[in-house]
């Protein structure tokens, strides 16, 4: 009896929950209204069946519960009824499946006017490649990947020379232009998802998969990875900016082509040395760092990382509220005029001899190992050297007190939350692997052991 | 009664004992043989799935076909002999006057052992020729499939060795009958698997 | 050798009667003891799986305040939870536990055909569990690659447990497959060859049908997992490239080339989808018998139910790639697999209709087993219907890899089979222990479990509609997930903790009742099927005393017009109880015939 009432109430409750719920699909931003139509159709058909079946179930329980003097009816089967019910079910299934297959056909067949853009996934970043003026993407191979050629574009292929390579997780798309994204992965499975576009597809190393959509709404949307790709899966985020054609044209004109990245002039170390004079006051003549002045060691750090951080200080992505020393640094960073100047300084720093910094932090090395090995080593590697591939800086032999400050900053939201600091945002999430200052010090103490 | 017919009966209408002593639908053979058949189906599925994987993997660009060593022909002959001898053993144990049982039974096992030795030799030759497991997926499949087949045969030899011990300690032909029948079925199965594998490996 | 019918060789049948405690309870060859051993090991692993789920639910519900779960452990916990629940808990409990207990009793046999192999099976299963649990203690910990173990990430630096954890997982699975094969061989051959006199296949209870067909599925499905595991072990340990393509790890290429990750996915799901039905079909069977017994009515449309079990089993082998719509396989496959997937909805729906129609015009006894069985119908309708979303290929585009998927499969193959498990354990508890369980505790257990589970999974579907991705340690900041989603997550976690704790009621009940429960009378539910007709309760070793039973009728003779009681046991000769030919008989309308 109670069961019949509860099942009745659950049905009513589910209906109320649905109508009261603010949780539903996010507003669509691509021309895939047909997918939403299929979902709604299925929702209402199945919703009706859910309500009907369960109300009937509740009725049966209530009506035919055991009572004095009541007996069950003997009826082994009723073939006609069963066949009739199966037929109705079949009709319902066809009603849901048929539109689904039609929409799938339009998803499978890419329209001729769609432009091709490559989406490249690697642990744990998004990068993009546009076909350039010739409208064709050059061939690429995972075995050609190097720090200077992160896409593995075939340098022999003339079609690839004018490809626009975007080594940044932000994708720009012109409004109303159908796009076919060609999906490639350099390591594990990933999945390119923009919830507003409704479609998603895996990136599989060794082959090129695709999906297509027609962006219909301006805005900035999240790109998510939705296929488990290792420990950094949940921080593998990107963004897609849908903007009017004119804005898009202006944006893409600023990007570099593949041949430009290959033929970039070598950095001017002498110019870098001159510029470094301002830095030497705090960071030391040989980039050895100075804890008293809150200047971390620079020698031995990877040039791409130094470049990126100086850029962040210049952009205001670092050194904002709560980061006093970062604000000092931002002032100095702004003395470097442009990207070339930044590159020059980084190149000069790269010439310094790398002697490990003196350990200043103590902690439980075993616990530090445990945390580091489980969570940090995936990017910063077992030896703490870091790698351009994972966008991870070197940790071993660098200033341990600086490590403690920065992890604390990540945890406090002082560093990494600026919209342009995509890689810092990953650290904000990963830094939760260390729950308090003590654990941060443990990890720092463990990293100190990596130099010996 | 055919399968479809028996699935269509209305069981509530049929009362009383049906099917005599033997449960309706049971196979007219010993449970051991049904059990072995069940296992053979699993083994067939395993080998088939490996071959399906082989075909799918073959279509990828890095595949370099392996030229199978000619010695496999000799090995095949050994396995055929082993199977034939098992059939002979089987005929002997079912006959009224068992004769030459020892020769047939031990001959069958011996040729199976020789087959495995032969397979190992081909492995050795391939290794010497620089065809390592990791050099190419074709090699990897070759080692994997022949290895798996040999492991199955070793399992059979284990059962055979138990029979051999019983035979040496004076068991009579009729005591060995079931065990020989099962072995014979298993050997024929492994021969067929090998012939298919061999044809498959040789033609790709 | 000519086949000697079981009934004739019975007298000389050699029973391995145990002589000592160890032989009776440890190295036992009695199918009932083995069933309990299988069940206990499975429940033990299930408790570990449940604990892991509570831990990672804490992280998801309260990411700010739960400090002790790092990303590494989170991924290990979700992976191990999934694998444990699907394989080591549900499969082992349904086939090893209920298959072992029910098949010989329902078939009127003294034991399984190969009792020694049966014993070997349970110990091999224990070995596989030990290997699995060992992975918690090796360097790097258990694998965190997700329960689907997709290469290439399983073996790569960025994945937790990529060194020893994954190797132990694969070895444990291989050992488990050996154990299941030995068990399955026994179940299938026993059903085929060891049925007692008069017991035709169409007289078998649906429990046996469900387990039998599930065993046949296992026969074809588990080899696929074995093949995949062997090749992945080769890739991981020996450096071959079956599944491993050329990939970059931490900036340098690995020593693999050309392998196909999709090949692994095909093999995995060729196992994985039938695996869903290896769990579901026994559940369908068990719940049918519980419903029929307590509704005092035969299972409605028995023949269609058998056909549906067979049809679902057959179809389950041609739907596997619906797990791979967005895997990057050729998109044309989507048309085929969406169609086959939605076809499977028809026989499944028919089963639901027939369960409800069994209740229709019945005389429903609303006790604890029946509560769980009816609860199952509700959750299964819910889970089955959401399957129509994911099976329809375009709807899978936005919903796959979101919480909608999690909610769907937990509803359909987590909550539903577990409700059946409880229904079945309570229903057959008097048979297994000779005691009655505590009805009040059992009902309290039902309410907390059933309502709690719905409170977990109904809102979870809506997280999926929002697009919240699965397997995220933290959702973090996004532009499409409102902050209120976190409240939903927190409430789900609280409900999950409630449900987990509520299971204590179950354990208290079955352990307490073992000693203090009311002594069960013979056939306490008035059941018609054979397992309740043993001379002893609980049945002794050998089950049937001196003589094997003879079966005269099907297992569902309930409320037959003209009978003395509202059930007729299967082994009652037709001469003792009259037969009827009515297609539909309503005792209320035709009172003259109701009691003869």
Which residues 6+ apart lie within 8 Å of A161 measured at CB? Answer: A132, A138, A257, A258, A259
Helix (H) or strand (E) holding A185: strand A179-185
**Closest Cα of chain B to C99: distance in Å?**
17
Same domain, A227 and A191: yes
Asked whether C532 and C569 are in contact (CB, 8 A), the reply is yes
Helices (H), C238-344: 261-295, 302-315, 333-343
**Closest Cα of chain C to A131: distance in Å?**
22
C286 part of a folded domain: no
Lowest mean pLDDT among A431-435, C95-99, C419-423, C523-527: A431-435
Q: Do A199 and C397 touch (CB under 8 A)?
A: yes
Percent of chain C with pLDDT over 90: 80
Output the CA angle C557-C563-C567, nearest 5 degrees.
35
Query: Of the candidates A296, A328, A355, which is a domain's last residue?
Result: A355
Same domain, A129 and A227: yes
Q: Tell me what pLDDT residue B95 has.
A: 83
Q: Tell me the pLDDT tens digit for each residue of C66-77.
A: 888 889 999 999
Integer Cα distance of A8 and C541 in angstroms: 46
Query: Of the candidates C152, C172, C204, which is a domain's last residue?
Result: C204
Helix (H) or strand (E) holding A126: strand A125-130
Q: Which residues of B touch C200 (CB under 8 A)?
A: 6, 9, 11, 14, 18-19, 23-25
Integer Cα distance of C266 and C225 in angstroms: 10
Q: Tell me what pLDDT residue C590 has.
A: 59
Q: Which residues of A touch B12 (CB under 8 A)?
A: 76
Give exposure, B74-113, as e/b (b: 16+ Cβ within 10 Å): ebbebbebbbbbbbbbbebbeeeebeebeebbbbbbebbe
Integer Cα distance of C138 and C271 in angstroms: 28
3-state DSSP assignment of residue A212: strand
Q: Do C195 and B26 touch (CB under 8 A)?
A: yes
Q: Which residues of A touch B60 (CB under 8 A)?
A: 206
Residue C594 has pLDDT above 50, yes or no: no
CATH code of A441's domain: 1.10.760.10
Report which of A378, A379, A357 is spatially closest to residue A444, judged by C-alpha positions.
Answer: A357
CA closest to B60 among chain A residues = A206
Integer Cα distance of C404 and C400 in angstroms: 7
**Closest Cα of chain A to B15: distance in Å?**
14
- Within 13 Å, how many C-alpha atoms sit on residue C269's CB side? 16
Report which of C277, C1, C118, C110 is spatially closest to residue B34, judged by C-alpha positions.
Answer: C1
Integer Cα distance of A366 and C288 in angstroms: 55
β-pairing verdict for A237-243 and A170-174: parallel
Percent of chain A with pLDDT over 90: 76
Q: Tell me what pLDDT residue B6 has.
A: 81
Integer Cα distance of B189 and B184 in angstroms: 8
CA closest to C470 among chain A residues = A226
**What pLDDT band is residue A258 in, cutting at 50, 70 and 90?**
very high
Q: Do B181 and C1 touch (CB under 8 A)?
A: yes
Q: Which residues of chain B have pLDDT under 50?
A: none
Integer Cα distance of A222 and C390 in angstroms: 23
The number of beta carbons lying within 10 Å of the beta carbon of residue C490 is 15
Asked whether A418 and A424 are in contact (CB, 8 A), the reply is yes
DSSP secondary structure string, B169-200? TT--GGGGHHHHHHHHHHHHHHHHHHHHHHHH
Q: Do A189 and C140 touch (CB under 8 A)?
A: no
> Which of C181, C199, C227 shows the shortest C-beta gap to B53?
C227
Report which of A167, A171, A132 is spatially closest to residue A259, judged by C-alpha positions.
Answer: A132
A388 part of a folded domain: yes
B139 part of a folded domain: yes
- Looking at the structure of chain B, the number of domains it has is 1
Tokens of A140: 């690429």
Q: Do C328 and A373 touch (CB under 8 A)?
A: no
Query: Of the candidates C153, C178, C204, which is a domain's last residue?
Result: C204
Q: Which residues of A touch C346 (CB under 8 A)?
A: 86, 89-90, 93
Domain ranges, residue B194: 31-202
Integer Cα distance of C161 and C169 in angstroms: 10
B118 part of a folded domain: yes
A364 part of a folded domain: yes
Integer Cα distance of C511 and C344 in angstroms: 40
Q: Do C220 and B45 touch (CB under 8 A)?
A: yes
Mean residue pLDDT of chain C comes to 91
Residue whose structure tokens are 């479809």: B4
Percent of chain A with pLDDT over 70: 100
Q: Do A231 and C364 touch (CB under 8 A)?
A: no
DSSP state of A399: -
The CA-to-CA distance between both ends of chain C, in Å, stands at: 50
Q: Tell me what pLDDT residue C591 has.
A: 53
Please, which chains are in contact with C (at least 3 CB pairs closer than 8 A)? Answer: A, B
Torsion of CA A224, A229, A235, A238, to 10 degrees: -40
C179 part of a folded domain: yes
Q: Tell me what pLDDT residue C3 has.
A: 44
Q: Tell me the pLDDT tens digit for each residue of C262-274.
A: 999 999 999 999 9
Residue to substitute from A74, A76, A143, interface B, most B β-carbons within 10 A: A76
C578 part of a folded domain: yes
The phi-psi region of residue C570 (left if phi > 0; otherwise alpha if psi is between -120 and 50; otherwise beta) is: alpha
A74 part of a folded domain: no
B5 part of a folded domain: no
Which residues 6+ apart lie within 8 Å of A200 measured at CB? Answer: A191, A192, A193, A194, A211, A226, C326, C397, C398, C400, C401
Distances (CA, A) of C547 to A13, C109, C299, C535, C542: 55, 10, 29, 10, 10
A232 part of a folded domain: yes
Q: Which residues of B touch A208 (CB under 8 A)?
A: none
A67 part of a folded domain: no
> Which of A21, A38, A72 shows the shortest C-beta gap to C361?
A72
> Which of C8, C185, C552 shows the shortest C-beta gap to B15?
C552
What is the C-alpha radius of gyration for chain C, rounded to an integer number of angstroms? 25
Residue A431 has pLDDT above 50, yes or no: yes
Rounded to an integer, the average pLDDT of C320-346 is 94
Same domain, A99 and A218: no
**Closest Cα of chain C to A156: distance in Å?**
20
Q: Does B7 touch chain C (CB under 8 A)?
A: yes
Tallying the residues shown for chain B, one arrives at 204
**Closest Cα of chain C to B135: distance in Å?**
8
Residue A155 has pLDDT above 50, yes or no: yes
Integer Cα distance of B183 and C2 in angstroms: 18
C115 part of a folded domain: yes
**Closest Cα of chain B to C326: distance in Å?**
20
C449 part of a folded domain: no
The number of beta carbons lying within 10 Å of the beta carbon of residue C284 is 28
Q: Tell me what pLDDT residue C578 has.
A: 66
> Which of A60, A196, A202 shows the shortest C-beta gap to C328?
A202
B170 part of a folded domain: yes
Domain ranges, residue C587: 543-596
Asked whether C76 and C143 are in contact (CB, 8 A), the reply is yes
Q: Do C267 and B60 touch (CB under 8 A)?
A: no
Report which of A222, A173, A175 is spatially closest to residue A195, judged by C-alpha positions.
Answer: A222
Q: Do C388 and A42 touch (CB under 8 A)?
A: yes
Same domain, A222 and A127: yes
Q: Tell me the pLDDT tens digit for each residue of A296-334.
A: 999 999 999 999 999 999 988 898 888 888 888 998 898
Report which of A22, B189, B166, A47 is spatially closest to residue C459, judged by C-alpha positions.
Answer: A22
- Looking at the structure of chain A, the number of domains it has is 4
Identify the residue with better confidence: B204 or C164. Answer: C164
Helices (H), A263-392: 269-283, 303-315, 324-333, 339-349, 365-371, 377-380
Q: Tell me the pLDDT tens digit for each residue of C388-401.
A: 999 999 999 999 99
Distance of CA C58 to the CA centre of its chain: 26
CATH code of A244's domain: 2.60.40.420
C414 part of a folded domain: no
> Which of B15, B16, B21 shows the shortest C-beta gap to C7?
B21
Lowest mean pLDDT among A358-372, A384-398, A413-427, C165-179: A413-427
Same domain, A332 and A393: no
CA closest to B64 among chain C residues = C258
Report which of C461, C462, C452, C450 is spatially closest to residue C493, judged by C-alpha positions.
Answer: C452
Residue C111 has pLDDT above 70, yes or no: yes
C123 part of a folded domain: yes
**Closest Cα of chain C to B204: distance in Å?**
17
Q: Do B7 and C307 touch (CB under 8 A)?
A: yes
The phi-psi region of residue A391 (left if phi > 0; otherwise alpha if psi is between -120 and 50; otherwise beta) is: left
- Looking at the structure of chain C, the number of domains it has is 2
C135 part of a folded domain: yes
Q: Do C197 and B56 touch (CB under 8 A)?
A: no
Q: Which residues of C touch A48 (CB under 8 A)?
A: none
Q: Tell me what pLDDT residue B20 has.
A: 61
Identify the residue with better confidence: C561 or A83. Answer: A83
Residue to substitute from A5, A9, A60, interface C, most C β-carbons within 10 A: A60
Q: Do C200 and B31 touch (CB under 8 A)?
A: no
Asked whether C367 and C436 are in contact (CB, 8 A), the reply is no
> Which of C364, C388, C582 shows the shortest C-beta gap to A64?
C364
Output the CA angle C491-C496-C498, nearest 5 degrees.
100
CATH code of B91's domain: 1.20.120.80
3-state DSSP assignment of residue A389: helix
Output the CA angle B119-B121-B125, nearest 5 degrees.
120
CA closest to A74 among chain B residues = B12
ipTM exceeding cut-off 0.90 for this assembly: yes
> Which of C73, C359, C392 shows the shortest C-beta gap to A97?
C392
Same domain, A51 and A93: yes
A269 part of a folded domain: yes
The number of beta carbons lying within 10 Å of the beta carbon of residue A99 is 17
Report which of A287, A305, A307 is spatially closest to residue A296, judged by C-alpha positions.
Answer: A287
Q: Tell me the pLDDT tens digit for each residue of C575-585.
A: 887 666 666 67
B24 part of a folded domain: no
Same domain, A250 and A154: yes
Q: Which residues of B touch A206 (CB under 8 A)?
A: 60
**Closest Cα of chain C to A366: distance in Å?**
13
Q: Which residues of A touch B10 (CB under 8 A)?
A: 76-77
Mean residue pLDDT of chain A comes to 92
Q: Which residues of A touch C594 (CB under 8 A)?
A: 71
3-state DSSP assignment of residue C67: coil
β-pairing verdict for A179-185 and A115-122: parallel
**Closest Cα of chain A to C237: distance in Å?**
18
Rounded to an integer, the average pLDDT of C20-47 is 89
B177 part of a folded domain: yes
**Closest Cα of chain C to A175: distance in Å?**
19
Same domain, A210 and A178: yes
CA closest to B56 among chain C residues = C263
Query: Of the candidates A323, A355, A387, which is a domain's last residue?
Result: A355
B10 part of a folded domain: no
Query: Of the candidates C163, C189, C204, which is a domain's last residue?
Result: C204
Same domain, A247 and A130: yes
Report which of A205, A162, A208, A163 is spatially closest to residue A183, judged by C-alpha positions.
Answer: A208
Same domain, A95 and A162: no
Torsion of CA B91, B95, B97, B100, to 10 degrees: 10
Same domain, A93 and A195: no
B115 part of a folded domain: yes
Q: Tell me the pLDDT tens digit for each residue of A265-305.
A: 888 999 999 999 989 999 999 999 999 999 999 999 999 99
Domain ranges, residue A318: 265-355
Q: Tell me what pLDDT residue C50 has.
A: 96
Instruction: Evaluate the omega torsion of the peptide bond into residue C152 and state whether it is cis, within 30 degrees of 0.
Output: yes
Q: Tell me what pLDDT residue C6 has.
A: 53
Residue whose structure tokens are 């035979």: B167
Residue to substitute from C198, C205, C219, interface B, most B β-carbons within 10 A: C198
3-state DSSP assignment of residue A42: helix
Asked whether C176 and C153 are in contact (CB, 8 A), the reply is no
Q: Does A76 touch chain B (CB under 8 A)?
A: yes
3-state DSSP assignment of residue C560: coil
Same domain, A10 and A86: yes
Long-range contacts of A249-252 (CB under 8 A, 24+ apart): A249/A174, A251/A172, A252/A130, A252/A164, A252/A172
């Amino acid at each position: 009896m109670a069961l019949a009432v509860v099942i009745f109430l659950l049905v009513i409750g589910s209906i109320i929950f649905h109508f009261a719920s603010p949780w539903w699909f996010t507003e669509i931003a691509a021309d895939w209204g047909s997918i939403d139509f299929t979902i709604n159709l299925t929702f209402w058909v199945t919703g009706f069946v859910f309500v009907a079946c369960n109300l009937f179930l509740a009725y049966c329980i209530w009506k035919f519960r055991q009572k004095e003097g009541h007996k069950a009816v003997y009826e082994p089967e009723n073939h006609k009824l069963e066949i009739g019910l199966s037929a109705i079910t079949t009709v319902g299934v066809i009603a849901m499946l048929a539109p689904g297959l039609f929409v799938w056909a339009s998803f499978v067949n890419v329209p001729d006017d769609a432009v091709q853009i490559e989406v490249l996934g690697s642990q744990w970043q998004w990068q993009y490649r546009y076909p350039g003026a010739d409208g064709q993407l050059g061939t690429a191979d995972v075995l050609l990947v190097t720090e200077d050629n992160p896409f593995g574009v075939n340098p022999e292929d003339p079609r690839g020379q004018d490809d626009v390579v975007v080594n940044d997780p932000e994708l720009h798309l012109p409004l109303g232009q159908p796009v076919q994204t060609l999906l490639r992965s350099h390591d594990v499975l990933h999945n390119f998802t923009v919830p507003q576009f409704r479609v998603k597809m895996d990136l599989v190393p060794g082959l090129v998969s695709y999906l297509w959509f027609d962006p219909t709404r301006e805005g900035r949307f999240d790109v998510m990875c939705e296929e488990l790709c290792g420990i950094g899966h949940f921080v593998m985020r990107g963004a897609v900016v849908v903007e009017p054609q004119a804005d898009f044209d202006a944006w893409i004109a600023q990007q570099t082509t593949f041949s430009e990245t290959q033929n970039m002039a070598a950095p001017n170390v002498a110019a870098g040395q001159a510029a470094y004079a301002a830095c030497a006051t705090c960071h030391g003549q040989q980039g050895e760092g100075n804890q008293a002045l809150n200047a971390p060691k620079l020698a031995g750090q990877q040039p791409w990382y130094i470049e990126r951080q100086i850029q962040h200080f210049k952009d205001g992505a670092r050194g904002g509220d709560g980061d006093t020393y970062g604000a000092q640094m931002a002032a100095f960073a702004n003395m470097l005029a442009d990207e070339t100047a930044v590159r020059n300084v980084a190149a000069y720093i790269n010439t310094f001899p790398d002697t490990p910094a003196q350990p200043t932090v103590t902690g439980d090395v075993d616990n530090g190992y445990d945390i580091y090995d489980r969570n940090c080593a995936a990017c910063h590697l077992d030896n703490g050297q870091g790698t351009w591939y994972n966008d991870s800086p070197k940790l071993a032999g660098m200033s341990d007190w600086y490590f403690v400050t920065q992890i604390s900053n990540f945890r406090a939201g002082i560093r990494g939350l600026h919209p342009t600091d995509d890689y810092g945002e990953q650290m904000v999430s990963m830094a939760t692997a260390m729950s308090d200052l003590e654990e941060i010090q443990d990890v720092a103490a463990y990293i100190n052991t990596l130099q010996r | 009664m055919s399968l479809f017919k028996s699935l269509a009966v209305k069981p509530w209408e049929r009362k009383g004992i049906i099917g005599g002593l033997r449960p309706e639908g049971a196979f007219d053979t010993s449970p051991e043989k049904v059990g072995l058949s069940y296992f053979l189906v699993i083994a067939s599925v395993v080998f088939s799935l490996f071959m399906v994987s082989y075909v799918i993997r073959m279509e990828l660009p890095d595949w370099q076909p392996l030229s199978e060593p000619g010695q496999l022909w000799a090995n095949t002959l050994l396995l055929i002999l082993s199977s034939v001898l098992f059939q002979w053993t089987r005929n002997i144990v079912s006959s009224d006057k068992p004769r030459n049982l020892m020769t047939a039974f031990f001959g069958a096992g011996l040729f199976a052992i020789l087959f495995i030795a032969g397979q190992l030799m081909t492995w050795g030759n391939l290794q010497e020729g620089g065809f390592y497991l990791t050099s190419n997926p074709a090699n990897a499949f070759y080692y994997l499939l022949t290895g798996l087949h040999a492991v199955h045969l070793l399992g059979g030899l284990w059962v055979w060795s138990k029979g051999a011990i019983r035979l040496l300690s004076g068991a009579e032909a009729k005591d060995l009958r079931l065990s020989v029948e099962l072995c014979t079925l298993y050997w024929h199965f492994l021969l067929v698997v090998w012939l298919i594998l061999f044809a498959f490996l040789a033609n790709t | 050798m000519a086949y000697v019918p079981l009934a004739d060789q019975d007298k000389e049948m050699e029973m391995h009667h145990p002589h000592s405690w160890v032989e009776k309870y440890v190295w036992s060859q009695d199918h009932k003891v083995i069933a309990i051993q299988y069940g206990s090991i499975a429940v033990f692993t299930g408790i570990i799986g449940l604990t892991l789920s509570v831990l990672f639910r804490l992280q998801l519900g309260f990411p700010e305040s739960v400090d002790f779960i790092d990303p590494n452990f989170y991924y290990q916990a979700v992976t191990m939870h999934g694998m444990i629940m699907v394989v080591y808990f549900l499969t082992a409990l349904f086939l090893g536990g209920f298959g072992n207990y029910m098949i010989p009793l329902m078939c009127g046999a003294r034991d399984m055909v190969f009792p020694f192999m049966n014993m070997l099976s349970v110990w091999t299963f224990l070995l596989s569990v030990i290997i699995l649990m060992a992975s918690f203690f090796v360097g790097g910990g258990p694998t965190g690659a997700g329960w689907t173990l997709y290469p290439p990430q399983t073996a790569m630096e960025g994945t937790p447990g990529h060194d020893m954890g994954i190797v132990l997982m694969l070895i444990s699975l291989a050992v488990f497959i050996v154990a299941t094969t030995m068990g399955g061989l026994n179940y299938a051959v026993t059903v085929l060859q060891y049925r007692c006199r008069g017991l035709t296949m169409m007289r078998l209870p649906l429990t046996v049908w469900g387990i039998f067909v599930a065993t046949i599925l296992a026969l074809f499905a588990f080899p696929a997992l074995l093949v995949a595991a062997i090749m992945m072990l080769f890739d991981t340990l020996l450096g071959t490239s079956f599944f491993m393509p050329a990939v970059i790890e931490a900036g340098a290429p690995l020593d693999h080339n050309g392998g196909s990750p999709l090949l692994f996915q095909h093999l995995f799901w060729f196992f994985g989808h039938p695996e869903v039905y290896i769990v579901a079909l026994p559940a369908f069977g068990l719940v049918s018998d519980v419903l029929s017994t307590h509704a005092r009515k035969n299972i409605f449309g028995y023949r269609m139910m058998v056909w549906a079990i067979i049809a679902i089993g057959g179809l389950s082998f041609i739907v596997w790639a619906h797990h791979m719509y967005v895997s990057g396989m050729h998109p044309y496959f989507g048309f085929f697999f969406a169609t086959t997937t939605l076809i499977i909805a028809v026989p499944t729906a028919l089963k639901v209709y027939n369960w409800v129609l069994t209740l229709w015009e019945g005389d429903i006894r609303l006790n604890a087993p029946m509560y769980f069985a009816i609860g199952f119908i509700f959750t299964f309708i819910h889970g089955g219907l959401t399957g129509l979303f994911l099976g329809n290929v375009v709807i899978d585009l936005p919903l796959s890899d979101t919480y909608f998927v999690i909610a769907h499969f937990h509803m359909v193959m987590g909550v539903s089979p577990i409700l059946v498990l409880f229904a079945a354990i309570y229903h057959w508890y008097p048979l297994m222990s000779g005691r009655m369980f505590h009805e009040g505790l059992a009902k309290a257990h039902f309410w907390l479990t059933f309502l709690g589970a719905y409170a977990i999974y109904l809102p979870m579907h809506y997280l999926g509609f929002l697009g919240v991705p699965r397997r995220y340690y933290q959702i973090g900041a996004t532009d499409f997930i409102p902050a209120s989603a976190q409240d939903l997550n927190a409430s789900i976690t609280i409900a999950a903790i409630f449900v987990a704790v509520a299971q204590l009621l179950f354990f208290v009940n079955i352990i307490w009742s073992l000693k203090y429960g009311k002594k069960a009378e013979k056939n306490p539910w008035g059941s018609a099927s054979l397992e309740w007709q043993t001379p002893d309760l609980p049945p002794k070793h050998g089950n049937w005393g001196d003589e094997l039973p003879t079966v005269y009728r099907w297992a569902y003779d309930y409320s037959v017009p003209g009978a003395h009681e509202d059930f007729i046991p299967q082994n009652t000769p037709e001469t003792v109880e009259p037969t009827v030919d009515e297609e539909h008989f309503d005792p209320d309308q035709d009172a003259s015939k109701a009691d003869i």
